Amino acid sequence: MVNLTDVLNNLITASHILDYQNVLDAYGHVSARNPNDPSTFFMSRDLAPALVSSYSDMVEYHVADATPVDPNAPSGFLERDIHSSIYLQYSDVQSVIHSHSPDIVPYTINHVPFKPVHPLAGFIRTCALISHLMLASQSHRKCGKRLLTTPPAQNTPNWDEEIIYNSTDPKVMLVNSLKFGASLSSYFSTPSSTDPKATPDNVLVLMRGHGFTTAGTSIEEAVVQAVYSRINAEMLTTALTTNLAAGKKHGVKYLSAQEAKQAAAGPDKLTVERPWGLYSRQVAVTPLYQNFGNGTASGL
């Protein structure tokens, strides 16, 4: 049996890190599967991540339908179906993060491919997108609908909730039902599929006009993926901006598919210990962040 206090402490720390690293703000959330009961998962109550501070802020949910194990639990996030659906479909996933990062949202609504430009973002997978509006249904099955008419490109899977709205669905851009959660979860497979499997093909899925979701095999891995997804977007935006300043419309050089694959698996493989150690210390010495855990505020 795994000591759940370690899991909950790391989940509190992850909430603080993601705020400190500008991945989350008042919105967004991180969760962790229960290692002692994979049919449930933990995430905080409806609270800004920076303000999560104790085990009493944590709620345990059923993977099957995102309902709380304790019917008297405090109110939770509206979009917890994101987390439950991914845990339900992919048995190896142990942590999920959903972000509305303003660094990434532009790449969910424009023509610019969001692909890795740095080896530490080599985990970002791309797939063939057919972007022409007349092929929207085919595009949906493959990797995600694009809003504008562009030639076929390589891009990170981009889920668009508009595709699955029916006439009675409130068009509020929230993943607040099993239907929407299962659709988003399917984009972690290539081609998109709702079939259960152990490991997702993609660990990052963009969400049109909304943000992104990433899944990892540990809390630490998911956090570092989320941070470097945002950093990759920041680097890409800077490259595009400086290109325009120089009067160039093109010229951004992404990692090649081979570079990204080998960086993700080779010497530049994403390691979590070093960044996690740094990030944990940063939030431990910042007074805003309190992790009382078993009753003692860490780092204070």
**Integer Cα distance of 83 and 208 in angstroms:** 18
Q: Other C-beta atoms within 10 Å of 259: how many?
A: 15
Counting every residue, how long is the chain? 300
Comparing CA positions, the residue from 192, 92, 97, 175 lying closest to residue 140 is 192
**Integer Cα distance of 60 and 77 in angstroms:** 12
Beta carbons of 269 and 263 less than 8 angstroms apart: yes
| Catalytically annotated residue among 79, 161, 220, 221 | 79
Beta carbons of 12 and 22 less than 8 angstroms apart: no
Comparing CA positions, the residue from 129, 115, 127, 128 lying closest to residue 232 is 115
Tell me how far CA of residue 51 lies from CA of 4, 25, 26, 57, 224, in angstroms. 20, 10, 9, 9, 20
* Residue 221 known to be catalytic: no
**Integer Cα distance of 239 and 258 in angstroms:** 21
Torsion of CA 91, 256, 271, 217, to 10 degrees: -10
Q: Which are the catalytic amino acids? A: 79
